Every structure is written in structure tokens, then in C-alpha cells.
Chains A and B, each alone.
Chain A
């Protein structure tokens, strides 16, 4: 199963609050889990990524929490700012030795940070 399930579909957070986006997967062959941020009319930009041998990774205000046994991972945005308003996609990569490994994307979360 190649699906990556993402929730919520949309999220409204007040400035300074914490934004939390969750993803779940089934394929245990996934070995790399990035989060991308996309602004309207632009391509996705890598935000932060984690491998399954690490339970948490933090870069500035962005943190990935990874639960390998539950096959879930989440993105936490601390001190959310209006400039964080964008669509966020989780993704997972399955490595194939015979063919190019590919990213499977979640359905996306539209985040709006209000003043």
C-alpha cells in the first residue's frame, strides 16, 4: 500500500500558536519522510525531513515527530506566523534498487495563521 494519509485538510491557528499536522502510512518500506511547504503558484519547497531511525528532528520552529511502531509522523510549527500560511504536504519515499525511488505525497493541509 503506497498511500500516505494526511490530516487535517485545513487548519486555522492564531499567531503565536502551535500548528500540528499529522500523517500516517502503511508501507514499511518507506525510508525517508520529508515535509514540503507550498505557496500558491509555486512549487513545493523542502521544509524538514526525517528517517525512521530517529524519533524527533527539530529545525528552528519546525519539528517532526516520528512514531515508527504506529507508522505515524507529524509536523509541529511552533510560534506560528502569518507568513507560515501555506499548504503543507507530508511525503514518504520507498527505495527501489531496480528503479528510481519515488515520493508519495499526502493530500495536503492548508494552514492559515490569523493575527
Chain B
């Protein structure tokens, strides 16, 4: 089956640093990837849609300059949390659409737990 890999799975860093999270589709090409944020015991909230070769589309209320998204190839999208602060601590999950199946179902990575001290 289609596999989406996220790296790192867990990161702890000091306030003010920038953190990059990678999302890779391992056995399929994904023109579109999605980035979600999930707080404890809550649902997944879509942050942005990442399109290969073009600018990401951000959901209302998500700071573009805070959460930088780059989708440079058909198998890799990155999310960079810039100047991270404790309130950015959360579980970040990426998802990818498989072109071969018309984008359904959407495949999810195992998430990255970000803790900002």
C-alpha cells in the first residue's frame, strides 16, 4: 500500500529556533500534500495544502511566515516552523494524495511531535 513517511517523529527544541519537518511519499508520486495540526484529544485541523512546484495554500488563521511549506518534488514536502515558541508545540501530521488513484484515499504519515521548551 501507499506509504507516507514523516521525519523526525519527535523533536524537542528551544524557543526561538526553527524546526523543519519532512514528509515523503515512498512508493507513489504526490502532486498534493496536506499539513495538519492536532492538539491533544482534539481533531485534525488542516493548516495548508502543499502543491508541487507552486506556492502552498494556507487555511484561514494560519500564519504563512510562521509555517513555511516547500513542495520541491513529487515525493517531498517540508514544513518549517520558524522561530518556534511553546504555543507551537503540537502534533503535526502530513498527508499525501496518490495520483494513480485519483487522490483517494488520502494517506497519512505517523506525525511529528514538536515540543518547544
Q: Which residues of B contact A41 (CB under 8 A)?
A: 110-111, 113
The interface of chain A, by Cβ under 8 A from chain B, is 32, 34, 36, 41-46, 49, 89, 93, 99-103, 105-108, 110
Closest CB in chain A relative to B92 CB, distance in Å: 10
Bound-state Cα–Cα, A93 to B95, Å: 14
Q: Which of B89-117 contact A (CB under 8 A)?
A: 93, 95, 97, 103-111, 113
Number of B positions contacting A (CB below 8 A): 25
Task: Indicate if the CB atoms of A108 and B108 lie closer than 8 Å.
Answer: no
Q: Which residues of A contact B49 (CB under 8 A)?
A: 99-100, 102
Task: Indicate if the CB atoms of B34 and A102 lie closer than 8 Å.
Answer: yes
Task: Indicate if the CB atoms of B105 and A108 lie closer than 8 Å.
Answer: no
Closest CB in chain B relative to A37 CB, distance in Å: 11
Task: Indicate if the CB atoms of B108 and A45 lie closer than 8 Å.
Answer: yes
For B33, the closest partner residue in chain A by CB is A100
Q: Which residues of A contact B103 (CB under 8 A)?
A: 100-101
Chain B interface mostly? strand
Q: Which residues of B contact A107 (CB under 8 A)?
A: 42-43
The interface of chain B, by Cβ under 8 A from chain A, is 4, 6, 32, 34, 41-44, 46, 49, 51, 57, 93, 95, 97, 103-111, 113
Task: Indicate if the CB atoms of A43 and B111 lie closer than 8 Å.
Answer: yes
Chain A to chain B contacts (Cβ below 8 Å), 14 pairs: A32-B104, A34-B106, A36-B108, A41-B110, A43-B4, A43-B109, A49-B104, A93-B104, A100-B32, A100-B51, A102-B46, A105-B44, A108-B42, A110-B41
Closest CB in chain B relative to A109 CB, distance in Å: 10
Task: Indicate if the CB atoms of A89 and B43 lie closer than 8 Å.
Answer: yes
Bound-state Cα–Cα, A41 to B41, Å: 11
Task: Indicate if the CB atoms of A103 and B106 lie closer than 8 Å.
Answer: yes
Q: Which residues of B contact A49 (CB under 8 A)?
A: 104-105
For A6, the closest partner residue in chain B by CB is B43
For B9, the closest partner residue in chain A by CB is A41
Task: Indicate if the CB atoms of A43 and B110 lie closer than 8 Å.
Answer: yes
Bound-state Cα–Cα, A37 to B111, Å: 14
- Most chain B CB inside 10 Å of its own CB: which residue of A36, A46, A99, A110: A46
Task: Indicate if the CB atoms of B43 and A105 lie closer than 8 Å.
Answer: yes
